[in-house]
Amino acid sequence: MSELAERRKRGRPRKEARSGASARAAILKAAAEEFAERGYEAASLRAIARRAGVDSALVHHYFDDKADLFTASLEAPLRPDRALEVILAGPHDEIGVSIVRFLLEQLENPKAQARMVAILRTALSSGPGSRMLREFLTREVFLRLATAAGGDDDARLRANLAAAQLVGVMITRFVLKLEPIATAPAEDLARRVGPVIQWHLFGDPSQPLA
Amino acid sequence: MSELAERRKRGRPRKEARSGASARAAILKAAAEEFAERGYEAASLRAIARRAGVDSALVHHYFDDKADLFTASLEAPLRPDRALEVILAGPHDEIGVSIVRFLLEQLENPKAQARMVAILRTALSSGPGSRMLREFLTREVFLRLATAAGGDDDARLRANLAAAQLVGVMITRFVLKLEPIATAPAEDLARRVGPVIQWHLFGDPSQPLA
């Protein structure tokens, strides 16, 4: 992600800086409209370029792919798709704890938390934001988790249940602000929730947990 | 709960039926206002009676206690406080699975689901409904869970984590409607989520789950 941030900062040459920034802003605005109207699946980078009145190549200059443009248009405080790629390639036994640790560490910052709360509220609303977020998560997050968990229907359900535990932790900690979960150290939660994520994804449901 | 429903149906004698129904409606309206303004903790049955322009005794005639009036004013599709009392008094090893089974069975009905979705959205909003629901859940649900789990600070955190898993299941199943969790049989979910609830509440967090 820092490589990307650097590339964005470097951006265009100085004399084009202003028009570059405004082109990027136009693309983000067009993307937000396109995703809200058509959902994440049906939205295309080509249609977003057309809507923004820029060449498709310029969209690819600023954004790596659809997931990158989507998360930028949402001002998402983290990139679950990229993090998962790294975590799933790491030690198998630590996948659950790494996912929880990543999520909570990225959300330590109050601005990141506030943005995540806004995104959660959008996801849970009855508006169009709910569909685009569901489609993004299904395509870019749950599919990766389900593939890691075995790839069949059962794995898809287990990926949903892992996601349910994570969504529940974010909601009780950052939205409802229940105590003591709201102020518990991230590492304590990683230690307690990590094994649950691991079990949902890879455990044997016929075996008792306790 | 059926005893209560019967008592309400029996209600007042026929000739008082109309004024009885309107008094009950006035109490519910006053309760909704009082809970929204003052939260669950600070609201009192006496203040609600005053606001409704009825005698306190009439509030007690229609409603057993504050939790009863609160859930009636929300048209809550289930009574987590009462269910927990019964479940926690049952077999210790089945507490987790019984909680999940109760929750999902009560929400099989589409009307109950729709009502629960509305309540979840209120809880997650930035409005006053969020506070009153957080206070109700803390007082009437999490405190019972935490007491069952040992009663100390650690037990309070474990009760929060169990609640987080349950909230996450409701949100992914009924609000986000992710597949396959949205259409999975309740009993499959009880079998998979029950052990997680049991482990959060009573398991040894220093032991691996898998």
User: Which has more pLDDT, A15 or B140?
Assistant: B140
Where do the domains of chain A lie, and which CATH numbers do they carry? Answer: 2-73 (1.10.10.60), 80-202 (1.10.357.10)
Interface test with A, best of B104, B126, B172 (most A CBs within 10 A): B172
Stretch (H or E) spanning A192: helix A186-202
- Do A203 and B209 make contact, defined as CB atoms within 8 angstroms? yes
B75-106 residue pLDDT tens: 999 999 999 999 999 999 999 999 999 999 99
Across B59-87, average pLDDT: 95
DSSP category for residue B49: H
ipTM > 0.90 for the complex: no
Of the partner residues B160, B178, B200, the one whose CB lies closest to the CB of residue A180: B160
To the nearest whole angstrom, how far is the Cα of B44 from the nearest Cα of chain A? 23
What integer pLDDT is reported at residue B21 of this predicted model? 80
Q: What's the whole-number mean pLDDT along residues A25-51?
A: 95
Distance CA B200, CA B163 (A): 9
Is A198 in the B-facing interface, judged by CB distances under 8 Å? yes
> What does the pLDDT read at residue B53?
96
Instruction: Kindly tell me the number of DSSP H helices and DSSP E strands found in chain A.
Output: 12, 0
pLDDT value, residue B204: 66
For residue A1, name the pLDDT band (cuts at 50, 70, 90): very low
| Assigned token pair, B124 | 């997650």
Say whether pLDDT at B210 is over 60. Answer: no
pLDDT one-digit tens code per residue, B157-193: 999 999 999 999 999 999 999 999 999 999 999 999 9
Q: Which of residues 74-93 of A touch B (CB under 8 A)?
A: none
pLDDT digits 0-9 by tens, A146-194: 999 999 999 999 999 999 999 999 999 999 999 999 999 999 999 999 9
Cβ contact A92:A67 at 8 Å: no
Q: B45 to chain A, minimum CA–CA distance in Å?
A: 25
Spatial CA neighbour of A188 closest among A206, A169, A174, A202: A169
> Cβ–Cβ contacts within 10 Å for residue A167, how many?
26
- CA B163 to CA B165: how far, in whole Å? 5
Q: Report how far residue A166's alpha carbon sits from residue A99's, in angstroms, rounded to the nearest whole number.
A: 9
The type of residue at B5 is A
User: How many Cβ atoms sit within 10 Å of the Cβ of residue A49?
Assistant: 21
Measure the N-to-C terminal CA separation of chain A; round to a whole number of Å. 39
